[in-house]
Structure 1
Amino acid sequence: MTVTTNKSANRNTNKEAFLNTIASKLGRERRTEVQRPAIQEFIPDSYGPLTTDDLVEILKEQCFFIHTQVIESTPEILQQTLSDLIEANGGGTVMLSGDRRFNEYGLAFPDAAVWEETAGRVENIRRAESANTAIVFADCALAESGTVVLESRPDQGRSLHFLPAHYIAVIERRRLVLRSTQAAAELNRRIQAGEPVGSAIQFISGPSNSADIEMKLVVGVHGPLRATYVLI
C-alpha cells in the first residue's frame, strides 16, 4: 500500500496553528490582512544631491576602513585587470559564478572552475573550497558601507562567496547606490512585479573580520583573507 502525504497542506496547517497560538498569547484576534509598508529611499540632507562620481568616492573612502581594495577599470581592459589580480593573489585555482556577464564582457579563464547547477551542490562546494580566488559580478553595491549585494541562484551559490581565500567582485558603475534602502526598494519592486528573486541575498562588506575580547582584529577567520572590488 502506498501512502501519499500533502507536504504543502501540512505546512499550511502548522503555520496556521503557530499564528493562532501567537494571537491567543497576545490576547487578540488573528490579523489576516496586513498592508505592506511603503519603502522610502531616504537620503540624508547632509549628502545633498549625489552623482555616480560622488558615490564612487564614498565607496573608496569606506573601503579603506574595511580593508578592501578598489580598482577602477574599463570593459576593454577588464580581462587584463582580473588576470593581474589572480597573479597577485598567487595564482592557483580560480572559480567563477555562472553569471552571463562573463560572456558579455568577453572574459575567458580557460582553467577556471565554474559554479554550475548541473554539477550539484556537493561538487560545487568542493570546487569553491579548493579555489584560491573567486570572481563574481555584484548585483548591486552600497557605497556608504562598502557592501556588494549578490543573490543566490542556481549558477551562484552562497559558498562561492565564503570558501575561496581571495574574493574579487566586479561592480558596474550603474549598479552603485548609496545604501541598503535603495537595494531593498529594487528588491521590493521585483517582488511586487512577480519577478523571480534569489533564495538568499548576501550583503558582503569586504573580507572576513573578527575581533576577540581583547579587541584584536583578525582578518580571514571565517571567510576570504582578501577582498577586491573592480569598478567598471
Structure 2
Amino acid sequence: MRKETIVENLNAVGERIVTCCNNCDRDPAEITLLAVSKTRPAEDLRIAYAAGQRHFGENYLQEALEKQNALQDLDIHWHFIGPLQSNKSRAVAEHFDWMHTVDRLKIAQRLSSQRPTNLAPLNICLQVNIDNEQSKSGIAPQDLEALAREVVQLPGLRLRGLMAIPAARQTVQAQHQPFLEMARLLHSLQELFPNEELDTLSMGMSADMEAAIACGATIVRIGTDIFGARNYSE
C-alpha cells in the first residue's frame, strides 16, 4: 500500500477515536490503537511506525517472527492476537509483549515457564467467548473466575484484562450488548483481585470500534481501516 494511504488511514482512525471519546466523555489517552498487521509486509509496519504507531498485533507466529527480525531496529510493542498451539508457546513467551488469546490454563502455564527472566512479565488477556460461538476460541464467561485465579499466581505473567471478538451485529445498539457484558466481567475480576493491574478490555475492530469504546474498551484492534483489505494469497 502507498505510504500516503497508510498515514491518511491512521490519521482517520485516530480522529474516529477522538470523536468517539468526546461523545462518551472519555479521554482518548485511555485508548490504545493496536494496528492489526497480519499478512502485511514489514515495509507497511515501518511506514505506520514512522507515522507514530507503536503497537502492532499479529495472528500468525512465523510471519510475526520474520517481521520482528526485519524491524528489530524499531521500538515496537508486539501483541499476539491469534490462536496459539501449545507447541508454539515458547516463541510467544520470548518475543512478544502482550498475549491476548489465553483461554486455558495449559497455555498460561507454558507461557509462564517459558518467559525469559530478563524480560518484563508477559501481559496477558483472557479471551472470552462472549457469544458462545462454536467457531470461536475463548473461555465461557462462567468459567472465567476459575481460570483467572490460576493465572494470577503464575510467575512471568501479568494478568491485565479480557479480550473478546463478539459476533457481528447489525445495529450500534446491538453491538453494545456484548461489550457491556465484557465490562461487567472485568469489573467482577477487579473486585476479586484488587491488587492486580486489571485495566484492559481488548475489544472493538473496524466495524464496531465506536460501540466498544463507549462501553469501556482500552485497546481497539484495527486492521482493514489502516492497511486496507487483506491479501491472504501469499
TM-score, reference length from structure 1: 0.28
Instruction: Give 1 or 2: higher helix fraction.
Output: 2
Instruction: Give 1 or 2: higher strand fraction.
Output: 1
Q: Which has the larger radius of gyration?
A: 1
